[in-house]
Amino acid sequence: MIEIDHVTKRYGEKLAVDDVSFVVRPGVVTGFLGPNGAGKSTTMRMIVGLDAPTSGRVRVNGRSYRSFEAPLHEVGALLEARAIHTGRSAYHHLLAMAQTHGIGRQRVDEVIDIVGLASVARKRAGGFSLGMGQRLGIASALLGDPQTLILDEPSNGLDPEGILWIRTLLKRLAGEGRTVFLSSHLMSEMAVTAEHLVIVGRGRVIADTTVEQVVAQASADAAVHVRAPEATALREALAAEGVHIRSAERGVLEIRGLSAERIGERAAEQGLVLYELTPQLASLEDAYMRLTADAVEYGTHSTHESLELVA
Ligand SMILES: Nc1ncnc2c1ncn2[C@@H]1O[C@H](COP(=O)(O)OP(=O)(O)OP(=O)(O)O)[C@@H](O)[C@H]1O
* pLDDT attached to residue 302: 45
> Exposed/middle/buried for 200, CB within 10 Å: 0-12, 13-18, 19+?
buried
* Contact assessment for residue 20 and residue 5, using Cβ atoms and an 8 Å cutoff: no
User: What domains can you pick out in the chain, each with its CATH number?
Assistant: 2-217 (3.40.50.300), 223-279 (3.30.70)
- 125 Cβ inside 6 Å of ligand 1: no
For residue 40 and ligand 1, the question of a CB distance below 6 A is answered with: yes
**Is residue 255's pLDDT more than 80?**
yes
Q: To test ligand 1's pocket by mutation, which of 41, 51, 156 has the most ligand atoms within 8 angstroms of CB?
A: 41
Confidence band (pLDDT; 50, 70, 90) for 47?
A: very high
156 lines ligand 1 (CB under 6 A): no
**What is the three-class DSSP state of 295?**
coil
Does the CB atom of residue 42 touch ligand 1 within 6 A? yes
The residue ranking higher by pLDDT, 172 or 281, is: 172
Q: How high is the mean pLDDT of the chain?
A: 89
The CB of 11 under 6 Å from ligand 1? The reply is yes
Work out which ligand 1 atom sits closest to the CA atom of 200.
21
- DSSP assignment of 18-29 equals EEEEEEE-TTSE
Residue environment code for 79-98, b if the CB has 16+ CB neighbours within 10 A, otherwise e = bebebbebeebbbbbbbebb
Q: What is the per-residue pLDDT across 79-123, written as a single tens digit (0 to 9) for each? A: 875 546 568 889 998 999 899 888 999 999 999 999 999 888 888
Q: What is the pLDDT of residue 308?
A: 34
What values do phi and psi take at 260, rounded to 5?
-60, -40
Closest CA to 189 of 208, 213, 171, 209: 171
pLDDT for 305 equals 37
Tens digit of pLDDT for each residue in 196-228?
A: 999 999 999 999 999 999 988 888 878 999 999
| Ligand 1 centroid, distance to 14 Cα (angstroms) | 9
Give the pLDDT score at 310.
Answer: 35
Per-residue confidence (pLDDT) for residue 82, from 0 to 100: 56
- The predicted complex's ipTM stands at 0.96
